[in-house]
Amino acid sequence: MINVSELKKEYKTGKETVPVLKGVDFSVKEGEFVCIIGPSGSGKTTLLHLLGGLDTPSSGSIQLDGTDITSKSEKMRTLIRRKDIGLIFQNYQLLPTLTIYENIVFPLHADGKKAPSGKVEELLEAVDLAGYEKRFPNELSGGQQQRVAIARALIHEPSILLADEPTGNLDRQRSSDILDLLATFHQERKQTIVMVTHDMFAAGYADRIVLFKDGVIEAEVTREDEDYAKFLSRFMA
């Protein structure tokens, strides 16, 4: 599904070059729920942006279903993104001028398609917001907005869902709702999910946890691993 190798990313601030990713190798299998966890500034969000084609790496490759997206033009990456990738952000990023319905169908419209009838309603039902079609984002709570964002990220049935700190702005209870929702989509629809977080409670939902530190992968652990918690505790400040 996703194969990342030797991925590097540097940023130039004035004369200085700051390496953010220093050579990352990892992969995600279809149907997997992978959590990338690490302290802030470790480069995990940059990695997610690169996976989503929002940015280009300094070197290395990212293969998405066998296609190397790093060699693609900006336009091609956009086209791939709107077909294969669903994105969820920490601050929801709903479009304020659009109704909930219109927000959800946006990725389809961008691609010049229409939503199959009943699809939006079904998704809204799934995120427990049935009947909210005509509302505007500012009428919703943070948790509700994020649930809309999830519906929006899934409307075009992307092969992979990328979530960047989806619970970062929410309290524990609402976080749980969001994570439960993601877990449901993972279990019931076999949705591949890559989630970046620094919240270990979120990490518990994943099949596999990638521990990220200073631009490199320090360790990868699965639930079956013995030292799973030991690693995690080291990363959780």
Partner 1 sequence: MSVKHSLLALLYEKSRHGYELKTGFEEMVQGMWPLNAGQVYTTLDRLERDSLVETPGHDKKDRKLYTITTAGKEELWTWLEDPVGRSLFKDEFYFKFLCANQVSYENRQSMIRNQKETMIKDVLHLTHLKKQMMGSGNETMKLLIEGALLHLEADIKWLDMIADS
Partner 2 sequence: MLSSFRVSWRNITRHKKRFLFTLIAIVLGVSVMTGMLIAKSTFANIMDEQERIAAGNADFRIQGTKAFFSSNELEGLLDQDQVKEGLATLTKQGLADIETDSPEQATVKFTGLSDFQNGMIELPVKEGDVTEEGLIITENAAALWGKEVGDLVSFQNMGSLKITAIVNEGGILNSPKTMEAAQFRDFEAIVPLDILQEWSGMNRQITEYRFQAEEGLDQQALLTDYQNALAGTDLFVQPIVADTKAYNDVEGMYFVFDLIAILSIFISAFIAFNMINTSILERNNEIAIMKSLGYTGRNVIQLIFKEILFLASIGTVLGLGIGVWLGIVVQDVLISAIVTQNITYQVEILMPVIISAAVGIVFPFLAAAMPLYKAGKTPILEAMSGHSREITLANKFNLVRVILGVACTAVGLIDNVWAFLFLFIGLVLLFPLWMKLIQLVTGPMLRVLFGFLGKQAARSLKQFEKRNANTAAMLAIGVSLALFMSAALETLPEGMEKDIRATFGGDIIAEKETAWEDSEIDAIRNMEGIESADAYAEVPNVTWYSPSGELREFSILSFEDSSMFELIEVTDQTSDSPPIYIGDRALAEMGAAVGDVFTFHTPAGETDFFIKGVVQTAHYSGYAGFAEDAIVRESLNWPLNYHVAIDVADEESVPMALAGLRVNYGESIETIDLMELNIEQAKSGLSGMNDLMVGLLILVIAISAIGISNTLFMNTLERTKELGTMRALGFTKSQVRIMIIAEGLLIGITGVIAGTLYGILVIYLNSVSDQAPAFLDFSIPRSSLVIAVAGGIVFTLLASWIPSHSASQISIKEAINYE
Residue 5 Cα distances to 61, 82, 213, angstroms:
5, 23, 17
By the rule CB under 8 A, 78 interacts with partner 2: yes
Helix then strand then coil, % of the chain, to nearest 5: 35, 30, 35
In the complex with partner 1, the residue whose CB is nearer, 79 or 183, is 183
CB of 96 to partner 2, least distance (A): 7
Sheet containing strand 160-164, strands side by side: 85-88, 160-164, 192-197, 33-37, 208-213, 216-222
Whichever of 115 and 221 has its CB closer to partner 2, that residue is: 115
Interface segment toward partner 2; rule CB under 8 A; list 36-44, 102-110, 179-187, 199-207: 102-110
* DSSP-derived 3-state class of residue 52: coil
Q: Please tell me whether residue 96 binds partner 2 under the rule CB under 8 A.
A: yes
Please say which residue, 150 or 209, places its beta carbon nearer to partner 2. Answer: 150
> Radius of gyration (Cα) for the chain, nearest Å?
18
Q: Which is nearer to partner 1, 18 or 229 (CB)?
A: 229
- Among the listed residues 26, 89, 101, 132, the single contact to partner 2 using CB under 8 A: 89
CB contact at 8 A, 19 and 79: no
109 binds, among partner 1, partner 2, none (CB under 5 to 8 A by kind): partner 2
Nearest residue (CB) to partner 1, 18 versus 236: 236
Measure the CA–CA gap between 87 and 80, rounded to whole angstroms: 13
Q: Tokens 């877990």 correspond to what residue?
A: 183
* Interaction between residue 93 and partner 2 (CB under 8 A): yes
Position 110 contacts partner 2 (CB under 8 A):
yes
Binding site for partner 1 (CB under 8 A): 172-173, 176, 179-180, 183-184, 187-188, 200-201, 203-205, 223, 228-230, 232-233, 236-237
And the tokens for 164? 């960047």
Q: What is the 3-class SS of 61-124, one letter each residue?
A: EEEECCEEHHHCCHHHHHHHHHHHEEEECCCCCCCCCCCHHHHHHHHHHHCCCCCCCCHHHHHH
Nearer to partner 1, 21 or 209 (CB): 209
The interface region with partner 2, picked from 33-41, 106-114, 125-133, 225-233 by CB under 8 A, is 106-114
Please list every residue from 45 through 74 that binds partner 2, using CB under 8 A: 49, 52, 54-55, 74
Pairing of the two strands 2-13 and 16-28: antiparallel
Task: Give contact residues for partner 2 (rule: CB under 8 A).
Answer: 49, 52, 54-55, 74-75, 78-79, 81-83, 87, 89, 91, 93-98, 106-107, 109-112, 152
